[in-house]
């Protein structure tokens, strides 16, 4: 039976584009090698029509399908279960940039185009595609959409959901919905694209999208601050929003422990500031003004903030190279943790106004569990989003730390976020890893509505089964 | 039976809040008196709990429900059918502003709060709620959400969908979904709010919302331009976006015929420009710079555009009073048409790059049908959205013009928009008036998905039945 399925799939996508056995292994785990599964095979269609044929075949034969883009997700959403009965549908060969309309400020791309390719294409046309996340060289537009990717420019530009005007989607039964409209206003009927954005491939396969492009700002300025408290960081953010409005593009918090860790990971990189501080903030602004005027505007606000006691020290990048160094520090925190091994990674959000209380109270709770844990706390506090990742003490092995304290620490963090009307997954999604936790933090009504939608579009639960939605008891 | 229903509803919302007979008449037609229906009664619950009880009762008894906010919609979405069997559910008594969090830049309001009340409340807190439409004194937040309202500041701030973070919704069977989260990043499960935004009350009753607030810009500048062509207007828009980025807040086109009409409607208002021009544009920018600097920036771009031959004449408002006069001209076009009687109102959008071709070709087609029709063309061309409303010739009665040419003209306009991958309803929605046209311009797949969602949430088709979704043949 399996052989027959493989033959039929080969007939659709070509023999070289059906991978099984050892050839499929790379697709059966995520890139971090945290989640592992088995598949019937990997199918690699070349275009929307082939995706449709694969889906129709699988639907007719009761075969479940796991869509996969760059496979860079963090919670197992793109990895099959252990059954070995699913087809992994790789979108990697759908990589045409279909069109770019500079006047309409839109670009239509296939799902398999990488984020970096999309950004470069926009740049070549004198425009900006603003999504900015660490994995941009590997992650694909289809994955960015199905996970509603966030990143470091959300304060100004929004999440991936806000950066798309239209979609093309293959439904679980193989029908194609062409919603590739490039319109900024369209109230003619239900806006179906939102069904497929952020639902992690459980309702349909996104095969192409119309992306919004933005004007390239005249100047970009960066600053690195040392501050006494998260309260002070929030006060600086409010001041900046008041005076610089939507020019505020990124506002990233870094804890003292995170700074120490990342600088030890980057031996050639010194801190931008002379002294150490309890907290750091990396700011980026985008402006229509020229570089000198924009920096003067930024400095004026920083001076005000310093006079008010919110900032202890600050340096504005004097050129693009120095700005890149600021960003290197921020972006290498993730790899520094991976290398250090033994961190409990949480990706929470709360209302901005609750950020200081959240950090203070949750840090205390974590330290009461593991008094010597290093508090690797960083992220997009301009969006209320903090990566709260307690790390094993220097003298405790990763396995021991995670085994003894991991679950308790994660529980404390997610519970605190939920209690403060926050989210247990601000940008990483749910995948399989946080699926059952969703049952605890979301209301019965919310999960029932989600299941009603799932059943309406995928009645046989064949599309990315076991992801996102927890099983509900009667 | 009817009496029993009324008694039960009186027990829920109080005797004085169930209106029937003559008392219900004002709710059975839209505010323009274009659509008329009959109802079993009007129920006016005071809070979410009462909405839930009304919905549960109607669901259990197979009674259809028509939700109604300010009743200012243009296509009949808030008016019941002729059967006299529906309950009109008025949200007008849900008018609490529940909370405002200045640091989080959010405000939680009941559905019945008017747009103007929300704007004033934000202003009092030193913030901006940016939705701007003509009916702001009457329309309600719940209606703005269920119709995804647009208006004149979409270029900078987006549509209503983009201005909300969380919702509270009563489902067709009376269950309450509390999704009142004030988070800028939240990928924990399906983002259900998008199901209820823009679906015109066919999937659930929005009872409250968390709205996004924005910083008040330091300065606002306005300019009024005379131009030779829509191509020139588009070139100016591109230039402005390139140099002023997201500072461009409004970019409104006005045709020569529209200008003539509105000035005759406003006898005390002169044109801001000395001469007449084939086309006019009203621009507004918002800036972090002070008034003088912002105006200088605007003037610099306008000078460039004039040197390039895109603009024939321009005046920048020298104060707020003059800016208000510019806006009066723009905003009174709608009333001027109503007073003139006999206009075919269409609300289309196309990709920005297609706007000039759309206007040129469609005007020619309309004039080939009715050679002396006045071309009242205006609207938000920065969003690709044009109100294309041919008006009867001066010497032809409204009834004759609409009777002879109305359907043909509307058909030509909507067909052209659809052919150019545009929308037949950019911001006014579908309601009942454009429902069957949706079947022509949307694919079978698109309507099937929409119906699948409708059936999943409202299996007995009791919530605003007959609105938005056309009946599909097998």
pLDDT digits (tens, 9 = 90+) for A23-42: 999 999 999 899 999 999 99
Which chain A residues touch B159 with a CB distance below 8 Å? 185
B468 in contact with chain A, both atoms CB, cutoff 8 A:
yes
Give me B41's structure tokens. 């009664």
Answer yes or no: do B453 and A455 touch at CB < 8 A.
no
> What does the angle CA A165 – CA A171 – CA A174 come to, to the nearest 5 degrees?
130
How many angstroms separate the CA of residue A3 from the nearest CA in chain B?
32
Residue in chain B lying closest to A103 (CA) = B353
B194 in contact with chain A, both atoms CB, cutoff 8 A:
yes
Angle between helices A230-244 and A291-307 (to 10 degrees): 140
A133 in contact with chain B, both atoms CB, cutoff 8 A:
no
Residue in chain B lying closest to A162 (CA) = B162
pLDDT digits (tens, 9 = 90+) for B17-74: 999 999 999 999 999 899 999 999 999 999 999 999 999 999 999 999 999 999 999 9
Which band of pLDDT confidence, cut at 50, 70 and 90, is reported for residue B473? confident
pLDDT given for residue A269 in this prediction: 95
Answer yes or no: do A351 and B183 touch at CB < 8 A.
yes
Own/partner contacts of A10-16, CB < 8 Å, gap of 24 or more, are: A12/A43, A12/A45, A12/A50, A12/A53, A12/A54, A12/A57, A13/A43, A13/A44, A13/A45, A13/A46, A13/A50, A13/A54, A14/A46
How many of the other CB atoms lie within 10 Å of CB of A256?
16
Mean pLDDT of chain A: 97
> For residues B427 and B349, what is the distance between their CA atoms, to the nearest angstrom?
9
Minimal CA–CA distance to B445: which of A160, A463, A108, A189? Answer: A189
pLDDT given for residue B18 in this prediction: 98
pLDDT digits (tens, 9 = 90+) for B399-429: 999 999 999 999 999 999 999 999 999 999 9
For A316, phi then psi, to 5°, come to -95, 135
How many angstroms separate the CA of residue A238 from the nearest CA in chain B?
7
Query: Which among B147, B217, B246 has CB closest to A187?
Result: B147
pLDDT value at A425 more than 90: yes
Residue with tokens 């009350």: B201
Using alpha carbons, list the distances in angstroms from residue A117 to A105, A137, A142: 17, 8, 13
Residue with tokens 């009504």: A445
Please spell the DSSP secondary structure of A293-326, one letter per residue: HHHHHHHHHHHHHHHTTS-SEEEE-SSHHHHHHH
**Contact yes or no for A63/A5 (Cβ under 8 A):** yes
Helices (H) and strands (E) in chain B, counts: 15, 18
Structural domains of chain B, with CATH: 1-90 (3.30.43.10), 97-215 (3.30.465.10), 217-334 (3.30.70.2190), 341-428 (3.30.70.2740)
Residue with tokens 């029709």: B373
Give me A213's structure tokens. 């492009």
Query: Which among B177, B238, B385 has CB closest to A103?
Result: B238
Q: Can you list the alpha helix ranges (DSSP code H) found in B317-377?
A: 320-340, 355-369
How many angstroms separate the CA of residue A132 from the nearest CA in chain B?
15
> For residues B373 and B352, what is the distance between their CA atoms, to the nearest angstrom?
25
User: Tell me, what DSSP letter sits at residue A79?
Assistant: S
Query: Which among B177, B191, B246 has CB closest to A246?
Result: B246
Length of chain B, please? 474
Answer yes or no: do B450 and A189 touch at CB < 8 A.
yes
Q: Name every residue whose Cβ is closer than 8 Å to that of residue B21 and which is 6 or more positions away in sequence.
A: none
Query: Which among A178, A181, A238 has CB closest to B103?
Result: A238
Residue with tokens 């605890």: A440
Minimal CA–CA distance to B437: which of B457, B405, B412? Answer: B412
How many angstroms separate the CA of residue B353 from the nearest CA in chain A?
5
pLDDT given for residue A79 in this prediction: 98
A241 in contact with chain B, both atoms CB, cutoff 8 A:
yes
pLDDT given for residue A474 in this prediction: 72
Please spell the DSSP secondary structure of B44-89, one letter per residue: --SSHHHHHHHHHHHHHTT--EEEESS---SSSTTS--TTS-PEEE
pLDDT value at A433 more than 90: yes
Query: Which among A188, A422, A452 has CB closest to B424?
Result: A188
pLDDT value at A2 more than 90: no
Residue in chain B lying closest to A350 (CA) = B183
B289 in contact with chain A, both atoms CB, cutoff 8 A:
yes
> For residues A201 and A210, what is the distance between their CA atoms, to the nearest angstrom?
18
User: Tell me, what DSSP letter sits at residue B36?
Assistant: B
Maximum alpha-carbon separation in chain B? 74
Query: Which among B150, B187, B445 has CB closest to A148?
Result: B187
pLDDT digits (tens, 9 = 90+) for B137-186: 999 999 999 999 999 999 999 999 999 999 999 999 999 999 999 999 99
- Average the pLDDT over A297-316 and give the result: 97
B380 in contact with chain A, both atoms CB, cutoff 8 A:
yes
Mean pLDDT of chain B: 97
Answer yes or no: do A241 and B429 touch at CB < 8 A.
no
pLDDT digits (tens, 9 = 90+) for A240-249: 999 999 999 9
pLDDT digits (tens, 9 = 90+) for A225-236: 999 999 999 999
- Average the pLDDT over B382-393 and give the result: 97
> For residues A437 and A369, what is the distance between their CA atoms, to the nearest angstrom?
21
Minimal CA–CA distance to A150: which of A138, A165, A137, A135? Answer: A135
How many angstroms separate the CA of residue A196 from the nearest CA in chain B?
9
Q: Name every residue whose Cβ is closer than 8 Å to that of residue B306 and which is 6 or more positions away in sequence.
A: B314
How many angstroms separate the CA of residue A397 from the nearest CA in chain B?
31
Answer yes or no: do B384 and A185 touch at CB < 8 A.
yes
Which chain A residues touch B453 with a CB distance below 8 Å? 190, 195, 453, 456-457
> For residues B83 and B39, what is the distance between their CA atoms, to the nearest angstrom?
7
A1 in contact with chain B, both atoms CB, cutoff 8 A:
no
Interface test with B, best of A122, A185, A420, A452 (most B CBs within 10 A): A185
User: Tell me, what DSSP letter sits at residue B425?
Assistant: B
How many of the other CB atoms lie within 10 Å of CB of B163?
22
A56 in contact with chain B, both atoms CB, cutoff 8 A:
no
**Contact yes or no for B304/B239 (Cβ under 8 A):** yes
Give me A114's structure tokens. 């990488």
**Contact yes or no for A395/A340 (Cβ under 8 A):** no
pLDDT digits (tens, 9 = 90+) for B326-374: 999 999 999 999 999 999 999 999 999 999 999 999 999 999 999 999 9
Minimal CA–CA distance to B256: which of B221, B288, B228, B235? Answer: B228
**Contact yes or no for A198/A167 (Cβ under 8 A):** no
pLDDT given for residue A455 in this prediction: 98
Residue in chain A lying closest to B172 (CA) = A449
A297 in contact with chain B, both atoms CB, cutoff 8 A:
yes
User: Tell me, what DSSP letter sits at residue A245?
Assistant: G
Query: Which among A185, A288, A422 has CB closest to B383?
Result: A185
Q: Residues of A numbered 138-177 whose beta carbons fall under 8 angstroms of chain B's beta carbons: which are they?
A: 147-148, 150, 154, 158-159, 161-162, 171, 175-177
Answer yes or no: do B148 and A187 touch at CB < 8 A.
yes
Minimal CA–CA distance to B134: which of B153, B120, B121? Answer: B153
Using alpha carbons, list the distances in angstroms from residue B61 to B3, B86, B104, B461, B463: 13, 11, 43, 13, 13
pLDDT digits (tens, 9 = 90+) for A89-138: 999 999 999 999 999 999 999 999 999 999 999 999 999 999 999 899 99
pLDDT value at A328 more than 80: yes
Answer yes or no: do A245 and B103 touch at CB < 8 A.
no
- Average the pLDDT over A263-277 and give the result: 96
- Average the pLDDT over B240-247 and give the result: 94
How many angstroms separate the CA of residue A293 from the nearest CA in chain B?
10
Please spell the DSSP secondary structure of A359-414, one letter per residue: HHHHHHHHHHHSTT-EEEEEE-GGGTEEEEEEE--TTS-HHHHIIIIIHHHHHHHH
Answer yes or no: do B103 and A234 touch at CB < 8 A.
yes
Query: Which among B105, B177, B199 has CB closest to A446?
Result: B177
- Average the pLDDT over B313-335 and give the result: 96
- Average the pLDDT over B316-330 and give the result: 96
> For residues B65 and B58, what is the distance between their CA atoms, to the nearest angstrom?
7
Interface test with B, best of A184, A252, A435 (most B CBs within 10 A): A184
B247 in contact with chain A, both atoms CB, cutoff 8 A:
yes
B450 in contact with chain A, both atoms CB, cutoff 8 A:
yes
Strand, coil or helix: B188: coil
Strands B87-90 and B97-101: unpaired
> For residues B190 and A445, what is the distance between their CA atoms, to the nearest angstrom?
12
pLDDT given for residue B2 in this prediction: 87
The beta-strand segments (E) located in A74-163 are 87-90, 97-101, 106-110, 127-128
Helical (H) or strand (E) element with B255: strand B248-255
pLDDT value at A264 more than 90: yes
Q: How many CA atoms lie within 13 A of A405 on its CB side?
A: 26
pLDDT digits (tens, 9 = 90+) for A136-195: 999 999 999 999 999 999 999 999 999 999 999 999 999 999 999 999 999 999 999 999
Q: Residue B266 burial by CB count (10 A; 0-12/13-18/19+): exposed, middle or buried?
A: middle
Give the count of Cβ contacts less than 8 A between chain A and B.
263
**Contact yes or no for A60/A9 (Cβ under 8 A):** no
> For residues B430 and B446, what is the distance between their CA atoms, to the nearest angstrom?
15
pLDDT given for residue A1 in this prediction: 72
pLDDT given for residue B1 in this prediction: 72
Using alpha carbons, list the distances in angstroms from residue A354 to A231, A284, A362, A363, B101: 10, 23, 12, 14, 10
B457 in contact with chain A, both atoms CB, cutoff 8 A:
yes
> For residues A118 and B341, what is the distance between their CA atoms, to the nearest angstrom?
49
Which chain B residues touch A241 with a CB distance below 8 Å? 105, 215
User: Tell me, what DSSP letter sits at residue B259?
Assistant: H
């Amino acid at each position: 039976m399996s052989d027959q399925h493989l033959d039929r799939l080969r007939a659709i996508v070509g023999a070289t584009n059906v991978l099984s056995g050892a050839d499929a292994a790379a697709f059966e785990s995520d890139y971090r090698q945290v989640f592992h599964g088995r598949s019937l095979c990997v199918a690699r269609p070349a275009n929307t029509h082939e995706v449709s044929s694969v889906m129709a075949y699988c639907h007719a034969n009761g075969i479940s399908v796991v869509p996969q883009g760059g496979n860079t997700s963090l919670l197992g959403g793109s990895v099959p279960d252990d059954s070995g009965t699913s087809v992994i549908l790789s979108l990697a060969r759908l990589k045409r940039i279909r069109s770019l309309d500079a006047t309409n400020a839109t670009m239509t791309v296939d799902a398999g185009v990488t984020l970096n390719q999309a950004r470069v294409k926009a740049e070549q046309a004198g425009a900006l595609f603003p999504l900015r996340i660490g994995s941009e060289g590997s992650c694909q537009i289809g994955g960015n959409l199905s996970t509603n990717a966030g990143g470091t420019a959300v304060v100004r530009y929004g999440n991936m959901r806000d950066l798309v005007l239209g979609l093309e989607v293959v439904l679980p039964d193989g029908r194609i919905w062409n919603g590739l409209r490039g319109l900024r206003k369209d109230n003619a009927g239900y806006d179906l694209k939102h069904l497929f954005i952020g639902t992690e491939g459980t309702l349909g396969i996104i095969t192409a999208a119309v992306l919004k492009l933005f004007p390239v700002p005249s100047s970009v300025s960066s600053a690195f601050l040392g501050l006494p408290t998260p309260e002070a960081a929030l006060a600086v953010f409010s001041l900046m929003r008041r005076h610089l409005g939507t020019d505020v593009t990124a506002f990233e918090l870094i804890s003292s422990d995170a700074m120490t860790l990342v600088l030890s990971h980057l031996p050639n990189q010194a801190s931008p500031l002379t002294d150490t501080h309890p907290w750091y903030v990396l700011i980026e602004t985008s402006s229509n003004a020229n570089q000198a005027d924009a920096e003067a505007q930024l400095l004026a606000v920083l001076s005000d903030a310093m006079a008010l006691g919110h900032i202890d020290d600050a340096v504005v990048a004097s050129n693009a190279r120095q700005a890149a160094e600021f960003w290197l520090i921020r972006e290498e925190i993730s790899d520094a943790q991976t290398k250090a091994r033994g961190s409990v990674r949480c990706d929470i959000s709360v209302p901005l106004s609750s950020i200081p209380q959240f950090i203070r109270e949750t840090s205390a709770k974590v330290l009461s569990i593991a008094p010597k844990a290093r508090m690797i706390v960083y992220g997009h506090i301009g969006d209320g989003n903090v990566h709260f990742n307690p790390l094993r003490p220097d003298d405790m092995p990763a396995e021991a730390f995670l085994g003894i304290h991991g679950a308790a620490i994660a529980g404390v963090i997610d519970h605190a976020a939920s209690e403060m009307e926050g989210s247990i997954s601000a940008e990483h999604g749910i995948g399989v890893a946080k699926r059952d936790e969703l049952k605890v933090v979301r209301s019965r009504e919310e999960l029932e509505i989600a299941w009603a939608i799932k059943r309406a579009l995928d009645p046989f639960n064949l599309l990315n089964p076991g992801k996102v939605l927890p099983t509900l008891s009667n």
